[in-house]
Structure 1
């Protein structure tokens, strides 16, 4: 969960998000070094500290500033492609959940169970209890077992939506008439918040996503209670 005056991303709660954080730091370091070097050259040229022929008119320097950007782009592209393939990889999920976007709430269906489905609405501000987050709490959370591969099938019933949970490193558009999928593994227990990341109408900011990762035995107890109430 983000907190006031926070710099950077939320703490990673999945292996994919950990990789994204490492890649962000990797790319940011390269960009910082390039910015510092370019700033130094600009200041040096303006103050006439660099005015020799090698810097201003030289085939060698032209070769360097042609090859160097290509090398830098390669250093950025290779880890980026690796993470893209890692995010698309879905191998033998333990649980499949269908997330359907509506105006303006989410509905979840646990396809491995016959009657386990529910709608998830935002809790109004006046109904919040101490410790709950305004505009982020939902009356029914999507509960998943920790350290288990989870596949989420994402679609929409009316307009474009987007199912996104930053701590898990997942974001997938919900398109009417199309079934998209994503996968994640919650590496630790906790409650992770997200929101619809597509401008889907007047109440776009009032359809939060709440994912609760619990131990497997707690998930089995929760699913049994939900099936009894169905």
Structure 2
């Protein structure tokens, strides 16, 4: 079984954070009270609120850190990244032991972002659990000005794409390639990386690539 790039990236960021972390008196996005450049640059924070529909009051409120967002790609037709993000943050219903009503009943749960990271990692999960196959659906995504403001509790800067990790193959095997934008170029030159081959490329080569696996965004300077 081939190692999955998203799993490896998550572990790598966690290992680096643990090795570089220092105690911080200020509560950071890490609940352990430790901070590093990993937590400062890559970690965000969610606020989850469970609301009783009868009393319209919040019965449970929790904060959780995140280092990336996993967005399920279920459609067989071309879809849009903003649609996937909207689905991720949509309000849902769950059974909850409501303290206001003193019984278990359907409540609504909704997540919002109270802290956005400088670097936003979006994992396009293409695994079909029913068929154990990979959903090769084209996902369109913006090169610039990706906004998560509808899901934040405060004003936030838009994001620009700077890299894409692609996976060709199946769940059991395959090949990884990447596209990356030069940070030193005023013209935002893009390069493709395929093993030892590095070539200049154009954004239309990967804008709706069905093999896109991880999207790397950077917040615009405020």
TM-score by structure 1 length? 0.25
Larger strand percent = 2
Q: TM-score, normalised by structure 2?
A: 0.26
Give the structure with the larger helix fraction: 1
Higher RCO, 1 vs 2 (CA within 8 Å, ≥6 residues apart) = 1
Structure having the higher Rg? 1
